[in-house]
Structure 1
Amino acid sequence: MVPMLSLLAHILLLASSSVSIYHVNDDLSVLLSFKYYIKNDPGQALSSWDATDNGTNNLSTDFCRWNGIACNDRRHPGRVTAIRLRGSDLGGTISPHIGNLTQLQHIDLSQNNLLGEIPVSLGSCTELRTMNLSVNQLSGSLFPDPLGHLSKLKVFNVRHNNLTGVIPITLSNLTALTNLSVESNNLQGQIPSWLCNLTSLAAIDLAHNGLDGHIPSELGKLTKVATLMIQGNQLEGPVPASIFNISSIQHLDLRFNQLSGSLPLDIGFQLPNILFFATSGNQFEGLIPASFSNASALESFLIRRNQYHGLIPRDIGIQCNLKLFSVGYNQFQTSQPREWDFLTSLNNCSKLQLLDLEQNNFVGIMPVTIANLSKELTWLTIARNQIAGTIAELGMFQKLIMLTLGDNLFTGTLPVDIGRLRSLQILDLSHNRFEGQIPQSLGNITGLSKLSISNNYLNGTIPTSLGKLRALASMDISCNFLSGRIPQEILSIPALTILLKLSNNALSGSIPTQIGHLNNLIAIDLSMNKLTGEIPDDIGSCVQLQLLHLQGNILQGKLPKGLEKLGVLENLDLSRNNLIGPIPEFLERIKTLNHLNLSFNNLSGPVPDTGIFCNATILSLTGNSMLCGGPPFLQFPSCASVHSQHRMHLLIVFCIPGTLIFLLFSITTYCCIKRRVKPNIVYQENLFLSEAHERISYNQLRSATQSFSPANLIGSGSFGNVYIGTFIIDENLATVAIKVINLNLRGASRSFLTECNALRRIRHRNLVKVITVCSGLDHNGDEFKALVLEFICNGSLDEWLHPNTMENSMTAKRLSLMRRLCIALDVAVALEYLHHNIEPPIVHSDIKPSNILLDDDLVAHVTDFGLAKIMYAEVWNKNHGGNESSSLAVKGTIGYVPPYGSGYGVSTDGDIYSYGVLLLEMLTGKRPTDSFDHGTSLVSYVKMAYPNKLLEILDVSATYSGNTQDVIDLVIHPMFGIALACCQDSPRQRIKMDYVVEELKAIKKACAALMGS
């Protein structure tokens, strides 16, 4: 790097140089200035940039030979015409003097680490044809006003930077522009209609910004456009028909917006040159036009996650050029064999690499023609349908990387030739009806990283050949009929870091000591088997373990000392075994533990009274009759009554020390009890942050969400937006939901504090888990607050019940009556926990379908505690003259808010009413805000049909099997009855949540018997 003094010396020499070489030396000074502003050059890309005095007071003009510099203009010899330093890893800023290179025609500084703004002096480079500053860290305005003079500019590429603002009108002066790329910046505002004046444009890339509004119809005038990419913004409304009339388009990417409408029936004729067509992640509806079969050049057809329906055109692949075909998460259907003809036409596509039919309404037997698909196939997913039949001849697809057939009705055995899929990385055959043994050949897929064959009817033993899967990170073979011992070989897989789940089988023998080899594994679930012997002390070597489930076995012996080494353990369940001995004191020292179940064993001795043992909501020790002591809520007998003679002996021998110990114990116990019953009146967020939850920075959240990109937006609420993001947690990539509070809204800050105060106190499988919080300043210095929550992957209950209004196109037909009953029970259990199992109780205040999230197994999780109320805090305020005005305010969402009468404030009875409305909505498929005859409400609508006309108002998509009358009598009628009992006008007449849970469990048992008969 040229020091400042050297640079000044060069400038002085330039001043004394002859006029004939003035411009040459001026270019030299600019280049030296450019080098000076580069602060980091690890690859020595500028090492050849040097200027020497040859003793004649003339500077060397060999800069035309410097790396990245070109001087090719014959009319202006010795003048710089091009700077090309692409991918040189340069750091620093772009020299503000670069505009003095007045003959510059091409500048390419892409793929570096340059900071600062785009220099306004570039506006003086009127000969500039190409400006490529992409993939840097530039900030500021997209296109400074002086750059509007670059009338010869053809290529303007600044994608992947941090540029802000709107698309400036100065761009409209660039009439020669053919390529405009501003992808992945932070641009806002609308797409300007004046873009249509740039008639030479052949490529427009506005993707992954924050653009909103509608797509202007004027863009249809750009008849030379071959590439139009606007994915990953917040655009809404229908796509103008004029866009689909640009016959020159080859790449049209509209993914991940909020666009709606349907496709023109003649689109295949209007876009004869289309190669890439993508509308994934929008709200498009209607049919796939049959005219797409005329798009002879079409290679990529991506319309995943919309609301398209009907049949897939039978000739969709007749042109034979398709490589990517993705129609997952829509409402396409098949009801008879001929409707699978589209699969036959796809057999013509010899280059097909991806086939995605996931989560639609495909039913019936999978055609045998699937075996004729391209041997180039790398991704095949037909999961979450109702496809039946057997699978065979898969071994021919030897380039497959992903194969997912889960959640279907496949039967038969797993084919032996599955081991020929040597390239496979993800295999999901779960939730089907496969039977027979797991093929030994499965161990030949040595690159496999995820294996899920759970919830089938597989039997036999676990093949030892699975130990050869050295790249396997997650293995789930639970819920089958497997027997025999756990092979030692699978416990020595070095890559097994995410999940080992062998639960709900008939495995026997002891747990191999080799389990200690899994020192990076996060979750182990061996529950509900027939395992015997002791829990090996080697389990302590699994130092990254967060979940350990061994319940429902025949394990014996004491709790191993090795558990003490599990410093990040969160969930430990050893219940329903034959464990003996005392409860180790080290368990109370594991700060991360938020669920401990040791119930129904033969444990004995005193119960610790600190740490997790002071929290009744996350601890279970029932069924251990020989335990004593502990916190009062456990109701164990005093240890003094069990060992009175021994204690009397100690008192005699050690009278004085014993007295002191007793006094200390009494004071400690008193403080513990006092702390438990002390009114919770503190609402400051630091109480939440002072616990084990580690704060996270704004920059980490910004990075995890790609600068809070609209493509990462998954929901919004009253006080902010929710984004999906990814973090490295304990050296593992984790997906989370990030709730960003809009502090400009009235009450938002209070809502954040309320949610923190509630979430810090609760731990339950049916409540969304909080991971951490962020409270600080954003990059503008403004106050910033956010909650980081666990990501629940299957959307909200509202999206499942009302598919016509959701973004993900899930189908309510997948929610059978039994599924709805299970979800209702999950929500009831969560509310029972909030109302009855913690002190002080918590009122959620906003129970509704959009606040119920469903995970991969359709287990419900209640979320959004922004309106929650901790009851004893309110009581304390009233008793001490406080004024909690919001406690008497009506909280919640219209339609779910209970009819509070005079004198009734927020209470658990309000949650019960909202739950009743929720249950009615699940049963009828109608929202409480829908229109009903004679202006009645949903509750009144159901009351008029109860009890004799319930089948008439039952949601038609709530399918069930078994005798209809039995289902009505034992399931439907009781569920409606519970819902109406929750919706009584008088709070005193509403049933409590513990009773609701008890009744729903009984209904579920009856429902299971009926559905299985």
Structure 2
Amino acid sequence: MGNLSKLVVLNIRNNNISGTIPPSFADLATVTVFNIRRNSVHGQIPPWLGNLTALKDLNMGGNMMSGDVPPALSKLIKLQFLSLALNNLQGLIPPILFNMSSLELLNFGSNQLSGSLPQDIGSILPNLKRLNLFYNKMEGQIPASLSNTSSLEFINLHGNKFWGRIPSNIGQNGCLTAFEVGNNELQATESRDWDFLSSLANCSNLFVVDLQLNNLSGILPNSIGNLSQKLETLQVGGNQISGHIPTGIGRYYKLTKLEFADNLFTGTIPSDIGKLSNLRKLFLFRNRYHGEIPLSLGNMSQLNKLILSDNNLEGSIPATFGNLTELISLDLSFNLLSGKIPEEVISISSLAVFLNLSNNLLDGPISPHVGQLANLAIIDFSCNKLSGAIPNTLGTCAELQFLHLQGNILHGKIPKELMALRGLEELDLSNNNLSGPVPEFLESFQLLKNLNLSFNHLSGPVPYKGIFSNPSAVSLTSNGMLCGGPVFFHFPACPYPAHDKLARHKLLHILVFTVVGAFILLCVSIATRCYIKKSRGGARQGQTNIPELFQRMSYAELLLWKIWLAVEASAVYIKGLLVLVQI
């Protein structure tokens, strides 16, 4: 290919090409586009690429390149687009690369590159439009000079070690569409440290603001409610921010992801949040919200993940959640919710990941409608006040992997219908009032890793096989009427060998055949006796009556009498054996 002296565009992206970059490519002096994105090319970036001075677009992202970024790339004075993202590059980003004033795109995301951004980057890269350094090892402060790049549209520094305050004028050019600085070590302690939000309010096309997982603290200013109405993602979770969810949050009608989780927010959840009809993810967990859950949340028909756990929410679970027909995950755990679980909620058939209502004050029975959750992987209703029996319909939840019902007041037997849940990995029914036997079908659950049936009223023999042979995987303590099982359980022996079940079945079969045979012999004997009596009825009237016991008998009659006595004795013996089998 190096002989193609007039080649202008080399675009072999999105293939399965492997190996290293051929040295013959160094002769492609006229090439302006060099795109090998999304292949399996490995090895180091050859420094001779810096000699292809006609290059305007160099894209080597999504490969397996390793080693350092060669400083020789700085010789590409016409280069506008440089993407080395999604490789295994390491070391410092050569500072000389930031002198390439023609650059519009600089994308080194998802590598292991280190270093810092020059504080005058906004002056030396005046044409920069997109800066992508996500998931590297960059550090230092975010340069305030970035606001001097009049065309800068996209900043993604997520997943590095940038520290200090966010520049207050970061959005003054008004062109930003995405500002992603989450998962760093950025700080905000005073109210003025939040001035950058007022600056971002100038960006009328802004659709992403990512501030999550930093060291931001203080009260969230109301100016966060003044951002662009084109906003689609707003993430401030994983900080130490206090205050309230701003009023007027419902104006962001294009919002698809709202995350205020893991902060110190207080107050109630505003009802106008229900106006976010395009919202798909709402994460408000680990805060200090109180009051009732707004009924209006049921209006967000596109919602697929709703996480409100670890707050102080109270009242009942809104039945309007039944309108959330796209919901795949619902977590309301660790609140103060009370009342019954609405049937509308427990029958949201779209739920596929988890339904977690644990650690609340919920009461009443578990509705049989739970059987409609046929695609759900995790059900956790633990640590409530739920009563009644475990619904048989749980057996139709064929995709269940984790079932946690511990810490309630459920009673009755463990339903045999649960034998259909072959994919279970964890089953915890402890701390209830369950009775009856330990189900033998649990022996055959090959994926089951943890089984806790402790603190109930279970009785009868403990199985031996499967998970029951692993003492670290099973807990059966405080079930006073269990017996048998592996020796490490230390249960008393059962009245009969619990493992000799097959022998008992064989004995029962023998007894049945014996009883049936004896019954047939008995019938024959009775019929014979009746025939004998009838045949003697014609004796003379005047003949002296001699007791039948002393009359002369034929050999055949004597044999029948012996059979009769044997049958009577067998019947007594069989009754005794049946009593033994039942013990």
* 1:249 counterpart letter in structure 2: L
SS of equivalent to 1:211: strand
Instruction: List per-residue Cα deviations over 1:614-647 (Å, max 9, x = no partner).
Output: 111110100100111111111111112999xxx9
Distance 1:641 1:178 in 2: 86
Structure 2 matches for 1:862-901, cutoff 5 A? none
Q: Which of 627, 633, 636 is the equivalent residue of 2:488? A: 633
**Mapped partners of 1:289, 1:628: distance in 2:** 71
Are residues 1:498 and 2:316 paired? no
Structure 2 counterpart of 1:412: 267
Using the alignment, how far apart are the partners of 2:392 and 2:200 within structure 1? 55
Counterpart check, 1:435 vs 2:316? no
Matched, 1:283 2:129: no
The residue aligned with 2:459 is 604
Q: Are positions 1:178 and 2:32 aligned together?
A: yes
Does residue 444 of the first structure (1) align with residue 272 of the second (2)?
no
Question: SS state of the match for residue 197, structure 2?
Answer: helix
Aligned pairs (5 A) from 1:264-413 = 264-391=118-245, 392-413=247-268
Unaligned runs of at least 5 residues, structure 2: 512-583
Q: Quote the offset at 1:589 in angstroms.
A: 2.0
Shift of 1:248: 1.0
Report the TM-score, using the length of structure 1 for normalisation: 0.49
Could you tell me which runs of 5 or more consecutive residues in structure 1 were left unpaired when the two chains were aligned: 1-146, 658-1013
Partner of 2:436: 581
Q: What does the per-residue CA deviation read over 1:651-707, in whole Å, with 9 as the maximum and x for residues that have no partner? A: 9x97999xxxxxxxxxxxxxxxxxxxxxxxxxxxxxxxxxxxxxxxxxxxxxxxxxx
Q: What is the DSSP-based 3-state SS (H/G/I as helix, E as strand, rest coil) of the residue aligned with 1:370?
A: helix
Alignment partner, residue 541 of structure 2: none
Cα distance in 1 between the residues matched to 2:51 and 2:82: 16
1:568-717 paired onto structure 2 within 5 Å? 568-640=423-495
Q: Deviations over 1:113-153 (max 9, x none)?
A: xxxxxxxxxxxxxxxxxxxxxxxxxxxxxxxxxx2121111
Return the TM-score normalized by structure 2.
Answer: 0.85
Give the alignment partner of residue 409 of structure 2, picking from 547, 554, 565. Answer: 554
> Counterpart of 1:236?
90
SS across alignment from 1:640: coil
* AA partner of residue 304 (structure 1): H
Inter-partner Cα distance in structure 2 for 1:605 and 1:494: 37
**Whole-Å Cα distance in 2 between the matches of residues 384 and 484 of structure 1?**
31
Quote the offset at 1:229 in angstroms: 0.3
The answer (yes or no) to whether the contact 1:252–1:276 under 8 Å persists in 2 is: yes
Query: Which residue of the other structure, out of 507, 531, 534, is the alignment partner of 2:362?
Result: 507
How much has 1:492 moved relative to structure 2?
2.1
Deviations 1:462-486 (A, max 9, x none): 0000010000001011000000000
For residues 461 and 117 of structure 2, the distance between their equivalents in structure 1, rounded to whole angstroms, comes to: 71
Structure 1 residue 540 and structure 2 residue 389: aligned? Answer: no
User: Which SS does the other structure have where 2:24 is aligned?
Assistant: helix
Q: Deviations over 1:814-873 (max 9, x none)?
A: xxxxxxxxxxxxxxxxxxxxxxxxxxxxxxxxxxxxxxxxxxxxxxxxxxxxxxxxxxxx
1:563 aligns with 2:418: yes
State the 1:512 CA deviation.
0.2
**Structure 2 residue identity aligned to 1:502:** L
- Name the CA shift for 1:642/1:602 in 2 (closer, same or farther; >3 Å): farther
Give the alignment of 1:66-105 within 5 angstroms. none
- Cα distance in 2 for partners of 1:194, 1:377 equals 43
**Counterpart in 2 of 1:423?**
278
Partner residue of 1:199? 53
The match for 1:846 is: none
Choose the corresponding residue for 1:211, options 52, 58, 65: 65
Give the CA deviation at 1:491: 2.1
Distance 2:121 2:439 in 1: 70
- Structure 1 stretches of 4+ with a deviation exceeding 3 A read 653-657
* 1:458–1:480 Cα contact (<8 Å) kept: yes
Instruction: Say whether 1:480 aligns with 2:322.
Output: no
Provide the C-alpha distance between the structure 2 equivalents of 1:251 and 1:322, rounded to a whole number of angstroms.
14
Deviation at 1:169, TM superposition (A): 2.1
- Amino acid paired to 2:40: N
Change (3 A) 1:316 1:581: same
In proportion to residue count, which structure has more helix? 1
C-alpha separation in 2, matches of 1:190 and 1:654: 77
TM superposition shift of 1:171: 1.4
In structure 1, give the amino acid aligned to 2:298: G
SS in 2 for 1:533: strand
Report the Cα distance in structure 2 between the residues aligned to 1:596 and 1:166, rounded to whole angstroms.
Answer: 52
Letter in 2 for 1:522: A
Deviation at 1:506, TM superposition (A): 0.4
Counterpart AA for 2:161: Q
For 2:292, give the aligned amino acid: Q
Name the stretch that deviates more: 206-215 or 284-293.
206-215
Structure 2 Cα separation of the partners of residues 654 and 355 of structure 1: 74
- Conservation of the 8 A alpha-carbon contact between 1:219 and 1:242: no
Please name the residue that 1:469 is paired with: 324
Local SS of the residue matching 1:148: coil
Name the aligned partner's letter for residue 507 of structure 1: L
1:530-581 CA deviation, whole Å, 9 max, x = no partner?
A: 0000001010010111110000000011111111111111110000000011
- Percent same amino acid at aligned positions? 50
**Contact 1:612 1:619 (8 Å CA) reproduced:** yes
- Does structure 1 residue 148 correspond to structure 2 residue 2? yes
SS of 2:186's equivalent in the other structure is strand
Counterpart residue number, 2:567: none
Determine the structure 1 residue equivalent to 2:543: none
Deviations 1:406-430 (A, max 9, x none): 1100000000001100111111100
| Contact 1:595 1:618 (8 Å CA) reproduced | yes
Whole-angstrom distance in 2 between the partners of 1:251 and 1:200: 17
Residues 1:522 and 2:377 aligned together: yes
CA displacement at 1:364 relative to structure 2:
0.7
Aligned amino acid, residue 167 of structure 2: P
Distance 2:120 2:488 in 1: 71
The question of 1:456 aligning with 2:311 is answered yes
Residue aligning to 2:116: 262
Aligned-partner SS, 2:389: coil
What's the C-alpha RMSD, in Å, of the aligned pairs? 1.8
For residues 584 and 255 of structure 1, the distance between their equivalents in structure 2, rounded to whole angstroms, comes to 53
> What is the distance in 2 between the residues matched to 1:588 and 1:218?
65
Letter in 1 for 2:201: N
Structure with higher Rg: it is 2
Distance in 2 (CA, whole Å) between partners of 1:347 and 1:355 is: 11
8 Å Cα contact 1:431-1:456 kept in structure 2: yes
1:298-335 CA-partner distances (Å, limit 9, x unpaired): 01000001111001111000000000110011000011
Q: Tell me the amino acid that sits aligned with residue 6 of structure 2.
A: K
The CA distance in 2 between the partners of 1:609 and 1:656, in whole Å, is 26
Change (3 A) 1:241 1:655: closer
Instruction: Measure the CA separation in 2 of the matches of 1:612 and 1:401.
Output: 44
User: Conserved in 2, the CA contact under 8 Å of 1:312 and 1:332?
Assistant: yes
